[in-house]
């Protein structure tokens, strides 16, 4: 787990795919998004609602502020 990102939020283990006759034909897994991304997405929802249409507050501001909030949450989480 990375302290910077908080690790993975929704990892999914490898799944073995088989054919109808039982032959293995591959695996698939997914690390999932990071907790940092998850927290930023949650923060972004509130920022969009609060600042939608505010003069000079662009999508870049929203994204930057969302990740600032996410970083603060991760910092507090590690205490």
Instruction: Evaluate whether 44 touches 36 at the Cβ level (below 8 Å).
Output: no
Which backbone phi and psi does 50 adopt, to 5 degrees?
A: -70, -40
pTM of the predicted model, to two decimals?
0.67
Q: What is the pLDDT of residue 72?
A: 95
User: pLDDT, tens digit, for every residue of 7-39?
Assistant: 777 766 666 767 777 776 666 666 778 899 999
What is the radius of gyration, based on Cα positions, of the chain?
A: 19
Residue 61 to residue 12: CA distance in whole angstroms: 32
Domain ranges for the chain = 12-77
């Amino acid at each position: 787990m990375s302290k910077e990102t908080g690790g993975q939020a929704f990892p999914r283990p490898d799944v073995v795919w088989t054919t109808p006759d039982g032959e293995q034909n591959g695996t698939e897994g997914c690390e999932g998004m990071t907790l940092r991304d998850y927290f930023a997405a949650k923060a972004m929802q509130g920022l969009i609602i609060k600042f939608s249409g505010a003069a000079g507050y662009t999508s870049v501001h929203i994204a930057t502020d969302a990740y600032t909030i996410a970083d603060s949450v991760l910092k507090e989480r590690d205490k």
